[in-house]
Amino acid sequence: MFEAIALMGKAFSSPRRLEFLDLLAQAPRTVEELARESGQSVANASQHLQALHAAGMAARTREGTRVRYALAGEEALRLWLALRDASAARLAEVQRAAHDYLGEDVETVGREELLARLASGEAVLVDVRPEEEFAAGHIEGARSIPIAELERRLGELPDDREIVAYCRGPFCAYAHEAVRRLQESGREARRLEDGWPEWRLAGQPAQ
Amino acid sequence: MFEAIALMGKAFSSPRRLEFLDLLAQAPRTVEELARESGQSVANASQHLQALHAAGMAARTREGTRVRYALAGEEALRLWLALRDASAARLAEVQRAAHDYLGEDVETVGREELLARLASGEAVLVDVRPEEEFAAGHIEGARSIPIAELERRLGELPDDREIVAYCRGPFCAYAHEAVRRLQESGREARRLEDGWPEWRLAGQPAQ
DNA sequence: CAACTTATCAAGAGTTCTATTGAATAGCGA
DNA sequence: TCGCTATTCAATAGAACTCTTGATAAGTTG
């Protein structure tokens, strides 16, 4: 029994596999994409992805000559987020790594407040993740400006309303970075406290 | 970052450690007790427990010459139960192991129905876990009859009311076993669909 | 069908994990 | 202090895991 459960537990014991889970939480991807985005060989990525599949954490579908992996349902997403949050709450190593990686804290907005400010037109919501992730699903009413293009496309954003940026989640640096740049441009800006996976899991309006 | 999270993830990759989590979900215990109940050497148990501690899943307190380990807060319990349930939902191996271990399914009662029937006096609730686990915490209104003593103490139970048995959780065989024996004795009996940890986590009345 | 792309397989070197053994340490009580 | 108990430490052999390399399989396109 415990041996069988450990089959799933092993999915969480390798940083590489956790990185895949994090990527898959945003959008399904092919093996080659996952390998490229995580900077490892295709063969190695394939092995880890098969391990995730065997652990019941990833689903896979064949698409012609490629194979697309996705998280295996909401349950899998919930489990990954629970592990991530629990480790952030209890392990000093994770806190330290997060702080080093994210830099100075940036002011946040909660879900309710964001919804209210969007409804009243006081705020504009920007998704700063890569375009493909936006395409795979995003918060209702958000517009896509990937962080890499933000500088160049600053003109598209109003400077008389607050900008709220969001990205992959609370441990993703994109939104932090975006808020800093927006503030440097003289705009009022905050980041959404969560990212897209948390929003979706909470059953909030999405597209 | 992912490396740091994997420190916690590794806690779930060994059947031995999962068994400890399962035991600790019932009640805190000393190293020696945990080693005995899981049938392994003390030195080995100590190593695994230290790993759980380093992973932020177990807390430890010194008590004179012994060391008592406990789950590190509700968060740890929630994570363990989430992993267990997710693996039971998604891995055929776990389902098979559970069925082999638990035997024929037994009729269950839900929390709400149990509370109603206890309030109206239509049912009697029995905790069939070992006595020490009962002592460390149990459902309000339950009486303790460890499964090992059930046969001998059958006379203590009424035969004109339904008996509801519960134990460590849905994958613990004690309650199944108890219901079968109670039914053989001519009593009406069902098992609570969850066990003590789930009950406590749900914030239901406890002692 | 041949050439090509994408993913998986197979084998092996190096690393990490696990359980065992025996020794060492910490706290207690005489 | 000494002897005792409970736990941890240290060393080690064997098992499992990880990544790399090169070959193979599946599917598409010309």
Average pLDDT, chain A: 95
Indicate the burial class of A34 (C-beta count within 10 angstroms; 0-12, 13-18, 19 or more): buried
Q: What is the pLDDT of residue A207?
A: 87
Separation between Cα atoms, residue A95 and residue B63, nearest integer Å: 30
Q: Over the stretch A33-48, which tens digit does the pLDDT of each residue have?
A: 999 999 999 999 999 9
Instruction: Flag whether residue A103 sits within 8 Å of chain B, measured between CB atoms.
Output: no
* Backbone dihedral angles phi then psi of residue A89, each to the nearest 5 degrees: -80, -30
Name the pTM for this structure. Answer: 0.91
Residues near B90 by Cβ (< 8 Å), separated by ≥ 6?
Answer: A8, A56, A57, A72, A73, A75, A76
Q: What is the pLDDT of residue B141?
A: 92
* Backbone dihedral angles phi then psi of residue B44, each to the nearest 5 degrees: -65, -45
Of A171, A178, A163, A162, nearest in space to A194 by CA: A171
B181, B165 in Cβ contact below 8 A? no
Instruction: Flag whether residue A44 sits within 8 Å of chain B, measured between CB atoms.
Output: no
Whether B13 CB is under 7 Å from strand C: yes
Protein contacts on strand D: list nucleotides below 7 Å from a Cβ: 5-10, 17-23, 26-29
Kindly determine whether residue B55 and residue A91, on different chains, have CB atoms separated by under 8 Å. yes
Most A CBs within 10 Å, among B18, B37, B87, to test the A interface: B87
Kindly determine whether residue B15 and residue A8, on different chains, have CB atoms separated by under 8 Å. no
Distance (Å) from the C-alpha of residue B167 to the closest C-alpha of chain A? Answer: 17
Q: Over the stretch B136-177, which tens digit does the pLDDT of each residue have?
A: 999 999 999 999 999 999 999 998 999 999 999 999 999 999
pLDDT tens-place values along chain A, 207 residues long: 999 999 999 999 999 999 999 999 999 999 999 999 999 999 999 999 999 999 999 999 999 899 999 999 999 999 999 999 999 999 999 999 999 999 889 999 999 999 999 999 999 999 999 999 999 999 999 999 999 999 999 999 998 999 999 999 999 999 999 999 999 999 999 999 999 999 999 999 888
Q: Over the stretch B97-140, which tens digit does the pLDDT of each residue have?
A: 999 999 889 999 999 999 999 999 999 999 999 999 999 999 99
Whether A51 CB is under 7 Å from strand C: no
Q: Closest to B6 (Cβ–Cβ): which among A7, A14, A72?
A: A14
> Cα(first)–Cα(last) distance of chain A, in Å?
40
Nucleotide nearest to B44 (CA to C1'): C19
Distance of CA B120 to the CA centre of its chain: 27
Q: Over the stretch B44-78, which tens digit does the pLDDT of each residue have?
A: 999 999 999 999 999 999 998 999 999 999 999 99
